[in-house]
Structure 1
């Protein structure tokens, strides 16, 4: 039984009326609105044939299968092709008829082509404009008349007036989404851009009004309520200058995410957020070799330990983009595990997600998990990371970072795992704290599996510095102190740290995982070290205050185990560049697994007794470069 399609019927009848009007108008224009009786009779005779041919061709070109509320350039090109072919067929039909062109003006065909094109494209565009402005299908006739009126006059808006900073691809996409989402009640009133070639130009009818430095004057002129920064590739210096301009204008301002944060580069108004410190880092977008990453992740079973942590959870999201068959989320904290499970199930429904609530130190549980999911790739991101906390509880660093890693490695060797990737830290280089020493030994455990040829699995280590915004890191602490009115506590005015964003770190981990062969330590390019004192001052200004005036900075001295600066490599290490500009590789030289195994056994014994001095002395014995505080 055929189903009556109301929309198809309405569009078809509308097209018939428009085509009739076009054919009649073509004749009127041809004869200067004084059509002879003979030509009128011929017009009425040919008109049914012309309509039938055009409707047949329109149907063939799928003009009645499109959703006209989403009319695009592709649809308009389709209309041009359909009108042209139908006019050509009509010409041949008349030419090969008995009357040929006797009593029928040839120029009518060309005039009718113009009118048909104008009326059909105009009707489709009107439908799109109507639906963009009134999404409620119960809209009234008054709404339709309003839409027609808006085509000939500049519409007013009672919504929030937005200035878009950046008249590039991102700014244009942002404007189109603002126009399409009428429920947002935003009105883009202008663009600002520092490119002189764009001054005075218009994007969808909205002018590029001036440079960013003139934001204050432009905002007053157009009565703007808010500015949105739409430059995802902006450098640190550019972002700082733009933010200063926004603050001077007293406008509320937000930003689109950086390229690293945007999935597949898609711009969405829902993703626009408050400006954060990571926007001031100015880290260049990561260029991923998606082909080689996809080659080891697509369709595979991927196991992530520490899946609920800051790095682990983002790593899961980045992995999911490459279409693994199955993802196992191994985490001992219940709530973070639940959150990342829901996130992945919502955004990647095609992937099998297995959350496992367990501890990496439980070898029996890890084995059961491997038996259940049969992983091809393992990412080991589970670790304790807080330096002062682990200085006070060093046995926990031994249990989790060393013993836990050893357990993961041993279980991995019993299964046909293709590669194992350890997430490490710059604190493992010449460590001065238990946390760094424990991670360095974890690196040695992983690296020696291939150096000593005890496994066919490719064991890979990725080493990098601090990430911005991770749980318990310095930035959340500074923001909390600022919200409380200060003081902001900095350990030392000269202390520096390397920083990168969480998405950037995770993307580079995936890239290094694809490049690894056997036993390498990959080191991520961290850029220039940042003074923590300057970071605190930038955050205070970003929050709308002035350091040392509104919010005081207090220096409290280095805490146990902390260094003034961190290192990514040790002098004399064999560090080589790779095919990726942001990744270097440190190749291992010799196998020392026997010494390591004996030392780990003693460390575990001392951790069970919680002998702090004994633990540190044993770490020093294993790692001569370790400089502990023995007090």
Structure 2
């Protein structure tokens, strides 16, 4: 019923326009000749009036046909713009030209200036009749908006994207934003207007404008701005009480896909400090395409993203190896849906099990191995240090040894900035993983490489998901120390670095990402509170809980001894490996494995003997000793420790 009514309404409007145009042509023809002679203060000579009247029917028919051909009857005039204006002018010009040709053909005489007056009058009346739809539509939207609360909105960017956003906000009856001013850093635009909205100045005016106009929302519409520029603008916006939205990227403009629907909430990643890493996809594709690729820990945050990006490069076979079946199942189902032609194997097992990891290597013979399986949570590993050693150190050793034994071409270890001058057992265990890989790289045909990066935003157990859960529960948001700082990167960036490192690898390198400026966790918490719609000190608090066991105020990406060497990618560097006695290190590993399997209470001291840069804090020693004695008293562990499972151990 609604569809039928809409068609009838459309036909009625078309008929109305036909009638109006016929009347306009008749009226404009008479007015044009009258105006011409009124300028001379005389009445129109009879022969000229006769010419106009004689050609009137032909003129009306010709004009209506031209209007039909140029689609002046089937446009949506409620949204008329410059294109419609040009179409009208083209149609009225053709009508005038055809009339002049007809007069000449029929030997009808009129002054030459008559055609000028006729063109002007017909253009004016046609524009008025057509654009009246838009005027009425705008007035109707204005009345509707005035009856409900409109959010005062500042638009940053007076370019093409900003123009489109402002136009849509002003014209749509469904949006309740009112643009109160525009911000643009171009000094030549200051004081000018865009769609009737004044450009008040550059980014230095954001806070002042937000206060003056009582703004509730700020829209950043500069898709061409780089990451650093965007971050700097958003940091200023974050000092206001406004809700922030952003137009994602330059591709939106290229695809003419700019509009309110493309705006998204500002994420915490927008406020971090560097350009997004770009990798050479061709070089990555060369060593992954048509290769058998194994990802250990393939169900984790980094591992699953590795699987996604590897799958996009058409490997011959992708093998996901993980001890957690739920994680492995989730990534399996995702890849099956997205890449139906991908040859995929999902295997459950532990890298600590020598027989299992070697049987996988022997059966599938992978060309490339990405080793992402590890325990990573610093406080948990402080309480279970032997597990950190068993899983991280010896899981890596057994996987690296299997790679050498079964002819893997590339082996990529996922490491962490916590491996540099470690103050916790997790970082120390990862440093030992690096030493293991460096040792194998000297004596194996396999190309072993280490990739080291900082904290990953959005990964399981990372700070952002924790903060969000705390806010959902009503707070407070907990931060260990007001001065604690960390480097951050997104999961896709971390994985891009891993893949690129594999392409650069010749064996033994430690690849490090230039992660820009470190971020204060307290500032991160404050920004996230603001972006989530809370007000610090009003409906959300930050609580400082003190540094956790093994935690330090800042992380380093490279030791001084390692130095930096540039690569083809200016955001990726190579650290020079530290020198150490590999033979002595391997003999120490044998003793360490025995101690770990026996649940030694002195495991941290043994690790400190092997890693000169690892220093145990006195308070941690005391706490570990007390925890061990408590386990003994509860009967959960003996002083001798459990029996060692020889099948699953051994260097």
TM-score normalised by length of structure 1: 0.67
Structure 2 residue aligned with 1:358:
348
Query: For the Cα contact (< 8 Å) 1:298–1:323, is it kept in 2?
Result: yes
- Does the alignment pair 1:545 with 2:539? no
Distance 2:254 2:585 in 1: 43
Aligned counterpart in structure 1 of residue 208 of structure 2, from 211, 214, 223: 214
Aligned counterpart in structure 2 of residue 245 of structure 1, from 240, 247, 265: 240
Structure 1 residue aligned with 2:278:
288
CA distance 1:33–1:419, change in 2 (3 Å) = farther
Query: For the Cα contact (< 8 Å) 2:248–2:262, is it kept in 1?
Result: no
> Equivalent residues in 2 for 1:227-246 (5 A)?
227-228=218-219, 238-246=233-241
Quote the offset at 1:571 in angstroms: 2.0
Query: For the Cα contact (< 8 Å) 1:577–1:584, is it kept in 2?
Result: yes
- Does the alignment pair 1:158 with 2:152? no
- Does the alignment pair 1:613 with 2:602? yes
Larger radius of gyration: 2
Quote the offset at 1:426 in angstroms: 0.9
> Alignment partner of 2:602: what SS?
helix
Q: Deviations over 1:153-212 (max 9, x none)?
A: 8963636524135235665565567679866x4323324536355444444444446732
Distance 1:111 1:519 in 2: 84
Quote the offset at 1:526 in angstroms: 3.1
- Does the alignment pair 1:568 with 2:519? no
Distance 2:236 2:611 in 1: 46
Question: Gaps spanning 5+ residues in structure 1: where?
Answer: 1-5, 130-144
- Does the alignment pair 1:397 with 2:367? no
CA distance 1:123–1:568, change in 2 (3 Å) = same
- Cα RMSD, aligned residues only: 6.1
Quote the offset at 1:395 in angstroms: 3.4
Quote the offset at 1:536 in angstroms: 6.3
Distance 2:103 2:216 in 1: 69
Distance 1:31 1:345 in 2: 74
Quote the offset at 1:468 in angstroms: 4.2
Structure 2 residue aligned with 1:427:
418
- Does the alignment pair 1:524 with 2:516? no
TM-score normalised by length of structure 2: 0.65
Aligned counterpart in structure 1 of residue 454 of structure 2, from 465, 474, 479: 465
Structure 1 residue aligned with 2:641:
none
Quote the offset at 1:465 in angstroms: 2.0
Quote the offset at 1:123 in angstroms: 6.6
Question: Gaps spanning 5+ residues in structure 2: where?
Answer: 34-47, 626-651
Distance 1:452 1:365 in 2: 24
> Equivalent residues in 2 for 1:332-343 (5 A)?
332-333=323-324, 336=327
Structure 2 residue aligned with 1:381:
372
> Alignment partner of 2:393: what SS?
helix
CA distance 1:495–1:158, change in 2 (3 Å) = closer
Distance 1:405 1:264 in 2: 46
Q: Deviations over 1:15-52 (max 9, x none)?
A: 89969976985675455356855555556457767877
Distance 1:509 1:260 in 2: 26
CA distance 1:481–1:599, change in 2 (3 Å) = same
> Equivalent residues in 2 for 1:169-318 (5 A)?
175=166, 185-193=175-183, 195=185, 197-208=188-199, 211-215=205-209, 217-220=211-214, 225-228=216-219, 238-246=233-241, 253-256=243-246, 280-281=271-272, 283-286=273-276, 288-289=278-279, 292=282, 295-296=285-286, 304-313=295-304
Distance 2:287 2:107 in 1: 71
Distance 2:162 2:232 in 1: 20
Distance 1:563 1:390 in 2: 15
CA distance 1:36–1:430, change in 2 (3 Å) = same
Bigger mean CA offset, 295-304 vs 442-451: 295-304
Bigger mean CA offset, 423-432 vs 164-173: 164-173
Distance 2:325 2:262 in 1: 27
- Does the alignment pair 1:497 with 2:486? yes
When the two structures are aligned, how many residues end up with a matched partner? 585
Structure 1 residue aligned with 2:433:
442
Quote the offset at 1:521 in angstroms: 1.7
Distance 2:168 2:589 in 1: 57
CA distance 1:217–1:407, change in 2 (3 Å) = same
CA distance 1:604–1:276, change in 2 (3 Å) = same
Quote the offset at 1:582 in angstroms: 2.8
Query: For the Cα contact (< 8 Å) 2:456–2:489, is it kept in 1?
Result: yes
Query: For the Cα contact (< 8 Å) 1:83–1:116, is it kept in 2?
Result: yes
> Alignment partner of 1:400: what SS?
helix
Query: For the Cα contact (< 8 Å) 1:314–1:506, is it kept in 2?
Result: yes
Aligned counterpart in structure 2 of residue 627 of structure 1, from 615, 618, 621: 615
Quote the offset at 1:318 in angstroms: 6.6
> Equivalent residues in 2 for 1:125-140 (5 A)?
none
Q: Deviations over 1:573-592 (max 9, x none)?
A: 24213344432212458898
CA distance 1:321–1:19, change in 2 (3 Å) = farther
CA distance 1:546–1:39, change in 2 (3 Å) = closer
Quote the offset at 1:467 in angstroms: 3.3
> Alignment partner of 1:244: what SS?
coil
CA distance 1:230–1:104, change in 2 (3 Å) = same
Structure 2 residue aligned with 1:577:
566
Quote the offset at 1:310 in angstroms: 3.9
Query: For the Cα contact (< 8 Å) 2:248–2:263, is it kept in 1?
Result: no
Bigger mean CA offset, 380-389 vs 399-408: 399-408
CA distance 1:338–1:98, change in 2 (3 Å) = farther
Distance 1:71 1:297 in 2: 53
Distance 2:16 2:150 in 1: 40
Structure 1 residue aligned with 2:644:
none
Structure 2 residue aligned with 1:141:
none
CA distance 1:434–1:203, change in 2 (3 Å) = same
Quote the offset at 1:425 in angstroms: 0.6
Q: Deviations over 1:355-411 (max 9, x none)?
A: 836345267877898899997765443321112211332333234323444555566
CA distance 1:54–1:530, change in 2 (3 Å) = closer
Query: For the Cα contact (< 8 Å) 1:423–1:463, is it kept in 2?
Result: yes
Query: For the Cα contact (< 8 Å) 2:155–2:220, is it kept in 1?
Result: yes
